[in-house]
Amino acid sequence: MLRLLLKRSSRSYFSSSCLQTHICSWVKGSNSSKPTHLSYDYAYIQLVGQNFGSQVASGRVYYSSGCVNLKKIGFARPHAQTQAQTMRSFCSEPDRESIQYDVVIVGAGPAGLSAAIRLKQLCRENDTDLSVCVVEKGAEVGAHIISGNVFEPRALDELLPQWKEEESPVTVPVSSDKFWFLTKDHAFSLPCPFNNRGNYVISLSQLVRWMGVKAEELGVEIYPGFAASEILYDSNDIVVGIGTNDMGISKGGSKKENFQRGIELKGRVTLLAEGCRGSLSEKIMDKYNLREKGHAQHQTYALGIKEVWEIDEGKHKPGAVLHTLGWPLDQKTYGGSFLYHMTDRQISIGFVVALNYQNPFLNPYEEFQKFKHHPAIKPLLDGGTVLQYGARTLNEGGFQSIPYPAFPGGAVIGCSAGFLNVPKIKGTHTAMKSGTIYQSLVEFKSFILFCVHYVYLCGNDYAC
Ligand SMILES: Cc1cc2nc3c(=O)[nH]c(=O)nc-3n(C[C@H](O)[C@H](O)[C@H](O)COP(=O)(O)OP(=O)(O)OC[C@H]3O[C@@H](n4cnc5c(N)ncnc54)[C@H](O)[C@@H]3O)c2cc1C
């Protein structure tokens, strides 16, 4: 399995030289005179300080006071143990490979990659190193990200300020912003409730791919093609990593000849960035009662269906943005459409239907088909070709549905936690932001303060 992982990894990290480097960094740390503190990666945990007394007692978690300073805190394990030793000893099943990292991130979306990039940047700033791995279930980074997006670049400005010079795929500024109310035969223009000035029309999967390259340049290991399918706990019920899915299982559930047991990716911190309604994230929220703890309402969801079309040159207006309400949905059904003009004659067209619709016979895909035949939309698509399509749920619960994001051993970030700004229908920059601000959270002692901090950092997104 490890060999397979290496083969699939674009950077064959576990070549002996890299492993050597890794071992050296452990050993370097273990030479320090006093037990060191794993404070940065437990930043989130500090938020809920006293709840983790048991971790301290078990000798696995250490607290530092105040802000993060990797250089100051050093980088070492409490026990002088090499990486290779750790790999073997932590393995909870004899036939299962286990790899130890400092931080394991599930999901190479905007949130997961932003967290990985920021961690590595902090390491550089503090002249130290943390091993960061990202596991992604898509065959490649971006494969499971649905393309087409109006992107607010604020979080990218902060994370990778040089993005304009470094050929990022963020190139098409919003050129017009329209909002229509549709009846069956007509389109009525309404004042636009969004402010997309300064935003860009992008392909999110391309942006994520670019971010993946940036992350790897900083030393993040990304393993596409592996789904995290289980959470690993230690004897104190603290999350210590994830297990990837077994491979070579027949439809009936029996092991095939090519069966391979999933591997354990252990992290001193595990960040769940699975996107909306992530399976592991939901389990963690239930297990640690994160909704109750954060006084959060239940989450609500919508289904978004998206298609990328190539249309005639004469009809293509790069940067044009259109949202519609009304037909074909009735007044009791919440939802609407979006249509964004990207580059290269491509448009992203889609339809979102909130999943609390009352009519049990309503089919969101059929509503989308009807929408494309509206007299104000059809002429644009005539003569065009569908290049890609997909569907994905999105969070509709908003700010009041964000659970307490930290759990023993890690945190839930991005749309896994529901950071999408519903009135703005934007979740990319908030996902990125939630992946990068958690190191600041160490300064806060309560979730309320975290919320205030979040709203402040996200530019009063929820006050828009
Ligand atoms: C139809 C639609 C339109 C949207 N339009 C916009 C828009 O115009 N502007 C905007 O800002 N936002 C928009 N959003 C929201 C935006 O896409 C999300 O807020 C953002 O992608 C969330 O980022 P994330 O990293 O949290 O999750 P995601 O982008 O969902 O990424 C999660 C990643 O984790 C991987 N993953 C999940 N589970 C596992 C697992 N168990 N193991 C391994 N990998 C896993 C997935 O394959 C995926 O690559 C839209 C969303 C939809 C559905």
Instruction: Express each pLDDT in 218-229 by its tens digit.
Output: 999 999 999 999
Name which residue leads in pLDDT, 375 or 57.
Answer: 375
Residue nearest to atom 19 of ligand 1 (CA): 427
* Ligand 1 contact via 61 beta carbon (within 6 Å): no
Query: How many Å lie between the centroid of ligand 1 and the Cα of residue 279?
Result: 14
Query: Which amino acid is present at 58?
Result: S
Ligand 1 atom index nearest CA of 427: 19
* Ligand 1 contact via 304 beta carbon (within 6 Å): yes
pLDDT digits (tens, 9 = 90+) for 28-56: 333 333 222 222 222 222 222 222 222 22
* Ligand 1 contact via 271 beta carbon (within 6 Å): no
pLDDT at residue 331 above 50? yes
- Which pLDDT value is given to residue 92? 57
- Which pLDDT value is given to residue 172? 98
pLDDT at residue 412 above 70? yes
Query: How many Å lie between the centroid of ligand 1 and the Cα of residue 213?
Result: 18
Ligand 1 atom index nearest CA of 393: 53
* Ligand 1 contact via 149 beta carbon (within 6 Å): yes
* Ligand 1 contact via 433 beta carbon (within 6 Å): no
Query: How many Å lie between the centroid of ligand 1 and the Cα of residue 109?
Result: 6
Residue nearest to atom 30 of ligand 1 (CA): 275
- Which pLDDT value is given to residue 78? 32
* Ligand 1 contact via 70 beta carbon (within 6 Å): no
Residue 147: which pLDDT band, with cuts at 50, 70 and 90?
low
Ligand 1 atom index nearest CA of 306: 1
Over pLDDT 70: what percentage of the chain?
73
- Which pLDDT value is given to residue 148? 77
- Which pLDDT value is given to residue 94? 62
Average pLDDT of 64-71? 31
Substitution candidate for ligand 1 out of 301, 426, 432, 433 with most atoms within 8 A of CB: 426
Query: Which amino acid is present at 231?
Result: I
Distance CA 290, CA 403 (A): 5
Query: How many Å lie between the centroid of ligand 1 and the Cα of residue 92?
Result: 32
- Which pLDDT value is given to residue 435? 82
- Which pLDDT value is given to residue 83? 40
Average pLDDT of 4-22? 33
- Which pLDDT value is given to residue 138? 96
Substitution candidate for ligand 1 out of 114, 200, 204 with most atoms within 8 A of CB: 204
Residue 10: which pLDDT band, with cuts at 50, 70 and 90?
very low
Tokens representing residue 205 in the block: 């999967």
Average pLDDT of 118-125? 90
Name which residue leads in pLDDT, 260 or 110.
Answer: 110
Looking at the DSSP bridge assignments, the partners of residue 179 are 190, 323
94: left (phi over 0), alpha (psi -120 to 50) or beta: alpha
- Which pLDDT value is given to residue 73? 30
Substitution candidate for ligand 1 out of 8, 428, 436, 438 with most atoms within 8 A of CB: 428
- Which pLDDT value is given to residue 62? 25
pLDDT at residue 11 above 70? no
pLDDT at residue 199 above 60? yes
pLDDT at residue 362 above 50? yes
pLDDT at residue 64 above 60? no
Residue nearest to atom 5 of ligand 1 (CA): 149
Average pLDDT of 286-291? 96
- Which pLDDT value is given to residue 335? 96
Query: How many Å lie between the centroid of ligand 1 and the Cα of residue 415?
Result: 7
Domains identified in the chain and CATH numbers: 2-142+208-293 (3.50.50.60), 149-202+300-395 (3.30.9.90)
Tokens representing residue 255 in the block: 């092991």
pLDDT at residue 58 above 50? no
Q: What is the mean pLDDT of the chain?
A: 79
pLDDT at residue 285 above 90? yes
Query: How many Å lie between the centroid of ligand 1 and the Cα of residue 205?
Result: 9
- Which pLDDT value is given to residue 464? 33
- Which pLDDT value is given to residue 107? 98
* Ligand 1 contact via 394 beta carbon (within 6 Å): yes
Query: How many Å lie between the centroid of ligand 1 and the Cα of residue 354?
Result: 17
pLDDT at residue 430 above 70? yes
pLDDT digits (tens, 9 = 90+) for 74-84: 333 333 333 43
* Ligand 1 contact via 431 beta carbon (within 6 Å): yes
